[in-house]
Amino acid sequence: MSDSGPPTTGSPYVPHSPSETAAMLDAIGVPDVESLFDVPESVAFEDDLDIEARSEREVRTEIEALLARNDDLTEFLGRGHYGHYVPSVVDDLSRRSEFLTSYTQYQPEVAQGFLQALFEYQSLLVELTGLDVANCSMYDDATALGEAATLSQRVRSVSGDRILVPAHLRDGKRGVLENYVDGPGCTVESYPMDDGCVDVDALAAAMDEDVAMVYAETPTVRGVVEERADAVGELTDDHDALFCLGTDPVAMALLERPVDVGADVVVGDAATLGTGTAYGFGLGLFATREEYLRQVPGRLVGASEDASGRRAYTLTLQTREQHIRKERATSNICTNQAWVALRAAMHAAWLGPDGLVDLAESCVTRARGLAAKLDEVVGLQAPVHDRHHFREFVAHTDQPARVVAEDLTDEGYAVHKVGEHLIQICATAQRSGAEDAFLEAIEEVA
Amino acid sequence: MEYDQARWTDGDRYEPLLSEKSTSEVAVGDGPLPEDLTRDTLELPDVSEPELARHYTRLSQMNYGVESGPFPLGSCTMKYNPSFTEDVAALPGAAVHPDRGVATVQGTLELCHRLQDYLGRIGGMDAVTLQPPAGAAGEFTGIQIAKAYHEHNGENRSSVVIPDSAHGTNFATAAMAGYDVVELPSGDDGRVDIDALEAAVDGDTAALMLTNPNTLGLFERDIEEIADIVHDAGGLLYYDGANLNALLGRARPGDMGFDVMHYNVHKTFATPHGGGGPGAGPVGVTEELAPFLPSPHVRRETGAEGETGAGNSGYEYYDPAHSIGKVHGYYGNWPVLVKAFAYVARLGDSGLRDTSAKAVLNANYLAEQIPYDVPFGPFHHEFVASAGDQDAADVAKGMLDHGVHPPTTKWPETVDEALMTEPTESESKRSLDHLAAAFEAVAGETDGTLADAPTRSTARRIDQATAARSPRLCWQALKD
């Protein structure tokens, strides 16, 4: 066999020898495979798809060549998608085939390993949020927010169809939310921000009995640590609305517990643990209060006992789900991000409580340190919000932000442009070795 | 072949939770933020890396995957997942940030464009979006596209028609999009009953959601007539791609009259299911529906030179004219898409056709070998047997003791004690014979012994009722 692998006539992944195929056809009683296809001639496809089969080595080389077309930039990018260092042991263990190639745990007796790992993931989120219930994953932060909004329609005692979101919100997140609430017929409205935090007076003025849910974030999309989350919790309580807080597991290791600021639902992206930057690949986290348990979307793993009397785990409360309840299900989600959740739980366990808190604190100090250095660069003021920051911050540029961002790209760096004269910069440990060179580059272009 | 699954025990539990091995509660504060903005304490598992490695290795041993043995879970298409697709999805160049300027991620966009093109050809569709992160998300995207299309034409249609044997996600999706669900009873032959369809479809019908072959493994031979009925009423035809494996290179939804479809790349294109995800659910549409695709969409730059080949033109994102907007925070489950691209490229025309050939051969061969009644037929990639007087759940537990994963049970509800079986193309004759022997052995166990099964798995029969009645969903609940 050459390094090209098996010949590419037919699928390399079917194990049938010609004689086995013949024996099987014989057993069925048909002359050939074609006669098994019950497709009317009028819709049968007789042409070529015109997709050339390649060897494994050729496909690998081809994809390497394609990806080599991406510019080699050092990214100071964040806004919801982060590349924290993922330890090698996470790759190694999560890729064990019994995890990777398994399916949803419909037969719990042979799936105790994955069920326990998901139970441990749920436990991690319960500790971080302080809430009672976490599911074992949604697609990403945006879809988790969408699910929170539809939850608000199911659990609220009075009707109301206004969903309030911060003026500083990633476009993609708002777009997904609008699609999710299109069916229930909700409106999505923005409330203003006050120097990067919730403008509590403006939010209070916007509240009425038609508000079903208020969404706030900490850190915000601009990296600001929200200082008035507790005030949002009080406002929503006063109006019988749900308070949905967006965050992530690294931030939660340090910031006030969501339950302590009155959050009813916590959503966000848990891919900050266990997954590097992968073009927006996410892991939606979703946690809420026990009183909403039977309205929770998605999969839940629970503890029970088996016939030997030992504790065992199983998917539970499946009557909420689409394969049982059909159109009365709490969500249509079926395939979720289970394997990504496994990786997040592994990463958190690898860090341990000290390591996770250290990681969170380093996010604050790195962002603060880089902002202070940038503030000394002529033509830059950083951060523009006089607040605490987590991982990232917005800087004002005297030059048009577009020019600064483009010039930085030419120098090999990527930053966000978030306004005419505003750029946003994310400082994680992944970029720590590049900070000095970045500062030199930005001194040149700013 | 005898089978025993690994079982690590520690008193009245199996492998302890990490939290039960060792936890630490650390005080938070005294850090870079004022105390009123920080939590007080954090309590988490606290184990060394060697202990962590052993814990997860044990858990993996107590889990069954495709490489453990046959996994004929109907409608899930659990086939062998080649290892190399994992490696290419993890290449350093794949790990870019989604907010980079498009000029700096041309390789990423070109790979997306090539996959869109492949999927379009395979499905007979004019345009494909890769954004939906799973099959059900693809369904939602497709139905939102149908809704936007009707609204654009000034029509406010209120219902979606779905056969009673359809995947549960179809019903949930239609409801989620705000539609009333009209359930379509199956005909006596397990297929769409044309008279019932005529009665169900009217001017309120936004779409008919259908998979073909259907969940019973039967090809809807009247598909052109079905399409005409739906189209004549002004509705759209939606294809659920869960069963596309049966048709690769042999028939295309676009040619059958479907207007919009989703692909389950984690099923058809062998990206690992990961214990329940991640998947990806690209959506294909006809030219007429292309303006409604999610934003942004990848296309070759306007005016670019050359139509094929790498490196001779640029790619860009654009917002389709009447886009439904976003269905994922960024652009979907990118690593899964890379794996799907690698798989399709590895197989090519001949491999894709061989896939459907052997998937259909295997299903028909196994259906022939098993002792249970298999109504309807002829079958494509899967079949639904009836366990008859036996409880399908007991049959499943009994099969576990033979070292195989059982079929999907008790679904669809249109077959009594259903055993929905999809062996896929990657099972050998030898492994199908082993599966058939497992069915045979379990079918013969009518003396109540199945109630004790399984006995060779990690866990014995698990009490599901207690789990639901007194939910304990985290370690913290076990402590109390």
Please, are residues B386 and B414 in contact by the beta-carbon 8 Å criterion?
no
CB contact under 8 A, B99 and A77: yes
Of A39, A77, A178, the CB nearest to B97: A77
Q: Name the strands in the sheet holding A301-305, side by side, starting at the edge strand that comes first in the sequence.
A: A301-305, A311-315, B13-14, B9-10
A197-225: average pLDDT: 98
Enumerate the residues of chain A whose CB falls inside 8 A of the CB of residue B473. Answer: 119, 122, 126, 132-134, 300-303, 316
Please, are residues A305 and B462 in contact by the beta-carbon 8 Å criterion?
yes
Q: Round the average pLDDT of chain A to a whole number and report it.
A: 96
Q: For the segment A39-74, what is each residue's pLDDT rounded down to a tens digit?
A: 999 999 999 999 999 999 999 999 999 999 999 999
CB contact under 8 A, B140 and A11: no
pLDDT of residue A1: 44
| Residue B196 burial (CB count, 10 A) | 17
Q: pLDDT tier at B306 (50, 70, 90 boundaries)? A: very low
Q: Is A264 strand, coil or helix?
A: coil
Enumerate the residues of chain A whose CB falls inside 8 A of the CB of residue B255. Answer: 43, 45
Q: For the segment A224-235, what is each residue's pLDDT rounded down to a tens digit?
A: 999 999 999 999
Look-up of token digits 């503030």: A375
Q: Which of B462, B464, B480 to mutate: most A Cβ within 10 Å? A: B462
Non-local (6+) Cβ contacts of A148 within 8 A are A213, A215, A242, A244, A265, A267, A286
Please, are residues B238 and B261 in contact by the beta-carbon 8 Å criterion?
yes
CB contact under 8 A, B17 and A302: no
Enumerate the residues of chain B whose CB falls inside 8 A of the CB of residue A332. Answer: 136, 139-140, 169, 172-173, 176
Q: Is residue B309 pLDDT above 60, yes or no?
A: no
User: In A228-337, where does DSSP find H-type helix?
Assistant: 229-238, 249-252, 322-325
- Taking alpha carbons only, the member of B421, B420, B376 closest to residue B192 is B376
Q: What is the count of residue pairs from A and B with beta carbons less than 8 Å apart?
A: 661
Q: Is A25 strand, coil or helix?
A: helix
Buried b (16+ CB within 10 A) or exposed e, A278-295: bbbbbbbbbbbbeebeeb
Of B82, B122, B471, the CB nearest to A302: B471
Enumerate the residues of chain B whose CB falls inside 8 A of the CB of residue A62. Answer: 345
Q: Is residue B305 pLDDT above 70, yes or no?
A: no
CB contact under 8 A, A110 and B173: no
Enumerate the residues of chain A whose CB falls inside 8 A of the CB of residue B13. Answer: 310-311
Of A71, A99, A310, the CB nearest to B14: A310
Enumerate the residues of chain B whose CB falls inside 8 A of the CB of residue A305. Answer: 462-463, 466
Q: Which residues pair with B423 in a beta bridge?
A: none
Of B14, B37, B99, the CB nearest to A416: B99
Tokens of B32: 């870079």
Q: Is A393 strand, coil or helix?
A: strand
Q: Is residue A261 pLDDT above 80, yes or no?
A: yes
Q: pLDDT tier at B308 (50, 70, 90 boundaries)? A: very low
Q: For the segment A380-424, what is each residue's pLDDT rounded down to a tens digit?
A: 999 999 999 999 999 999 999 999 999 999 999 999 999 999 999
For residue A408, the surrounding DSSP H or E stretch is helix A401-411
Write phi, then psi, for B128 (nearest 5 degrees): -135, 130
CB contact under 8 A, A260 and B39: yes
Q: Give the torsion sign (CA, B99, A140, B270, B68).
A: positive
Q: Is residue A430 pLDDT above 90, yes or no?
A: no
Q: pLDDT tier at B91 (50, 70, 90 boundaries)? A: very high
B118-143: average pLDDT: 98
CB contact under 8 A, A100 and B84: no
Q: Which of B117, B143, B176, B405 to mutate: most A Cβ within 10 Å? A: B176
Q: pLDDT tier at B427 (50, 70, 90 boundaries)? A: very high
Please, are residues A221 and A79 in contact by the beta-carbon 8 Å criterion?
yes
**CA distance, residue A356 to nearest chain B CA (Å):** 9
- Give the nearest chain B residue to A55 (CA atoms): B346
Q: For the segment A103-147, what is each residue's pLDDT rounded down to a tens digit?
A: 999 999 999 999 999 999 999 999 999 999 999 999 999 999 999
What's the CA gap between B35 and A240, in Å, rounded? Answer: 29
CB contact under 8 A, A179 and B140: yes
CB contact under 8 A, B68 and A98: yes
CB contact under 8 A, B172 and A15: no
Buried b (16+ CB within 10 A) or exposed e, A300-310: bbbbbbbbeeb
CB contact under 8 A, B45 and A352: yes
Instruction: Give pTM, 2 decimals.
Output: 0.97
Q: For the segment B31-74, what is each residue's pLDDT rounded down to a tens digit?
A: 999 999 999 999 999 999 999 999 999 999 999 999 999 999 99
**How many CA atoms lie less than 13 Å away from B116 in the CB half-sphere?**
22
How much of chain A is in helix, strand and coil states, percent to nearest 5?
45, 15, 40
Q: Is residue B89 pLDDT above 80, yes or no?
A: yes
Enumerate the residues of chain A whose CB falls inside 8 A of the CB of residue B338. Answer: 63
Non-local (6+) Cβ contacts of A246 within 8 A are A141, A145, A215, A216, A217, A218, A266, A267, A268
Enumerate the residues of chain A whose CB falls inside 8 A of the CB of residue B78. Answer: 101, 103
Enumerate the residues of chain A whose CB falls inside 8 A of the CB of residue B341. Answer: 63
Q: Is residue B242 pLDDT above 90, yes or no?
A: yes
Tokens of A299: 């999969």
Q: Is residue B207 pLDDT above 90, yes or no?
A: yes
Enumerate the residues of chain B whose CB falls inside 8 A of the CB of residue A112. Answer: 14, 59, 62-63, 458-459
pLDDT of residue A4: 59
CB contact under 8 A, A16 and B57: no
B95-107: average pLDDT: 96
pLDDT of residue B370: 96
pLDDT of residue B216: 94
Enumerate the residues of chain A whose CB falls inside 8 A of the CB of residue B27. Answer: none
pLDDT of residue B421: 97
Q: Which of B52, B63, B399 to mutate: most A Cβ within 10 Å? A: B63
Q: Say yes or no: ipTM exceeds 0.85.
A: yes
What's the CA gap between B346 and A82, in Å, rounded? Answer: 32
